[in-house]
Amino acid sequence: MLTRTVLTIAFLCLFLPFAASAGEKSTDASDVILATYNDWVVSTNAKDIDRWATFLAPEAVFFPPGVPALDSREAIVGFYTKLFDDPQFSLDCTQTFVEVADSKDLAWSRGTCNATFSLPDGSVGRGSSKWAKVWVRLKSGEWKCKVNAWNLNQ
């Protein structure tokens, strides 16, 4: 619980300046996608797979490096469940760009991530990547990730 509280406070301190004013709902889709992505990263670092999975669009597809495409919700959630089982796993990610289609129901974004994870010998590893995502706006108005692809920086 303490970790979730710390992560929530960190999220609010880091990203509140980009959010809409209190009591005012942002109508700019790129702001909504930025806030949605940041919330997704918070759920990742909290290792809350149930909350994390709520950010997936129906029929989402992920393209992690070095493994076959994850083309079902079960495959995607299974992949992240294994990551979340790693006590060292955490991400420090930044979404650097969002472009929303004129139709306001499709968008793409890009960014970077720094990861911390356990190595096979038990030591702590670190790596960085760059990514691109495709977002879809559901009938409910929520933005969900439809396509997620990333590669490792060498």
| Residue among 127, 146, 150 nearest 63 (CA) | 150
Predicted confidence at residue 29, as pLDDT, reads 94
Q: How far is residue 76's CA from residue 60's CA, in Å, rounded to a whole number?
A: 8
Q: What are phi and psi of 150, to 5 degrees?
A: -150, 160
Model pLDDT for residues 90-113, shown as the tens digit of each residue? 999 999 999 999 999 999 999 999
Predicted confidence at residue 12, as pLDDT, reads 33
In 3-state terms the chain splits into helix, strand, coil percentages (rounded to 5) of 35, 35, 30
Ordered structural domains, the chain, with CATH:
2-152 (3.10.450.50)
Q: How far is residue 88's CA from residue 115's CA, in Å, rounded to a whole number?
A: 9
Q: How far is residue 2's CA from residue 54's CA, in Å, rounded to a whole number?
A: 22
What is the CB-side half-sphere exposure of residue 26 using CA atoms within 13 A?
16
**Per-residue tokens: 76:** 């995607």
Is the pTM higher than 0.85? The answer reads no
Spatial neighbors of 126 by CB under 8 A, at least 6 apart, are 114, 115, 116, 117
Interval 46-52 mean pLDDT: 98
Percent of the chain past pLDDT 90, that is, above it, reads: 82
DSSP, res 146: E
**Per-residue tokens: 8:** 């929530």
